[in-house]
Structure 1
Amino acid sequence: MTDSPQAAAPDDLSAPVDFCVPVVDISPYVGDGSAADRDEVARQIDDACTRIGFMQIVGHGVPNRILHEFTGALDDFFDRSLDEKSRYRTPPRINRGYSPPKSESLSLSLGVESADRMNDFFEAYNVGVEATTYPALDLPADDYADNTWPADSDVFRPAVETYFSEAGRVARVLTRIFADALDLQPGFFESFTDHSLDVLRMNNYALPPGKVELDGDLTGMGEHTDYGIVTVLWADQVKGLQVLGRDDCWHDVLPADGALLVNLGDLMSRWTNERWMSTLHRVKPPVIEGVVERRRSAAYFHDGNIDALISTLPSCVGAGARYSPITVGEHIAMKLAGSRAGVRNVFAEREQARVQRARRR
Structure 2
Amino acid sequence: MPLTTLPVLSLADDATAFSQAIGDSFKTFGFAMVKDFNIDRALIDRAWKLSEEFFALPEAEKRSYHDPAIAGARGYTPFGTEIAKGAKAHDLKEFWHIGRDLPAGSPLADSMPPNVWPARPAGFQEVFQELYAQFDRTGATILSRIATYLGLDEHWFDAGIEDGNSVMRLLHYPPLDITDGEAIRAGAHGDINLITLLLGAEEAGLELLGKDGEWISASPPEGAMVINVGDMLERLTNHVLPSTIHRVRNPNPERARFSRYSMPFFLHLRSDFPIATLPQCVTAENPDRYPQSILADDFLQQRLREIGLKK
| TM-score above 0.5, yes or no | yes
Cα shift at 1:196: 0.4
Cross-structure match for 2:173:
205
Cross-structure match for 1:350:
none
Letter in 2 for 1:47: D
Cα shift at 1:245: 0.6
Cα distance in 2 between the residues matched to 1:301 and 1:289: 30
Q: Kindly tell me: are residues 200 and 184 of structure 1, through their superposed partners in 2, closer, same or farther at Cα, counting changes over 3 Å?
A: same
Q: Are 1:78 and 2:55 an aligned pair?
A: yes
Is the 8 Å Cα contact of residues 205 and 295 (structure 1) preserved in structure 2?
yes
Q: Are 1:331 and 2:299 an aligned pair?
A: yes
Q: How does 1:96-135 map to 2 (within 5 A)?
A: 96-105=74-83, 107-108=84-85, 112-114=86-88, 116=89, 119-130=90-101, 133-135=102-104
Q: Please report the RMSD computed on the Cα atoms of aligned residues, expressed in angstroms.
A: 1.9
Query: How many residues matched?
Result: 307
Q: How does 1:161-310 map to 2 (within 5 A)?
A: 161-207=129-175, 211-212=177-178, 218-289=183-254, 291-310=256-275
Cross-structure match for 1:8:
none
Q: Are 1:155 and 2:155 an aligned pair?
A: no
User: Per-residue CA shift, 1:85-136, capped at 9, x if unaligned?
Assistant: 111112152411111211110x22xxx141x4xx211111111013xx2335
Q: Kindly tell me: are residues 158 and 247 of structure 1, through their superposed partners in 2, closer, same or farther at Cα, counting changes over 3 Å?
A: same
Is the 8 Å Cα contact of residues 229 and 303 (structure 1) preserved in structure 2?
yes
Q: Kindly tell me: are residues 73 and 151 of structure 1, through their superposed partners in 2, closer, same or farther at Cα, counting changes over 3 Å?
A: same
Q: Are 1:51 and 2:28 an aligned pair?
A: yes
Is the 8 Å Cα contact of residues 73 and 160 (structure 1) preserved in structure 2?
no
Letter in 1 for 2:258: E
Question: After TM superposition, what 4+ stretches of structure 1 lie above 4 angstroms from structure 2?
Answer: none
Cα distance in 1 between the residues matched to 2:299 and 2:134: 26
Is the 8 Å Cα contact of residues 287 and 293 (structure 1) preserved in structure 2?
no
Cα distance in 1 between the residues matched to 2:36 and 2:77: 32
Cα shift at 1:186: 2.6
Q: How does 1:33-44 map to 2 (within 5 A)?
A: 37-44=14-21
State the TM-score, normalizing by the size of structure 1: 0.80
Cα shift at 1:213: 5.8
Cα distance in 2 between the residues matched to 1:27 and 1:295: 29
Is the 8 Å Cα contact of residues 212 and 290 (structure 1) preserved in structure 2?
no
Is the 8 Å Cα contact of residues 201 and 226 (structure 2) preserved in structure 1?
no
State the TM-score, normalizing by the size of structure 2: 0.92
Cross-structure match for 2:64:
87
Cross-structure match for 2:11:
26
Give me the identity figure in percent.
25
Cα shift at 1:50: 0.7
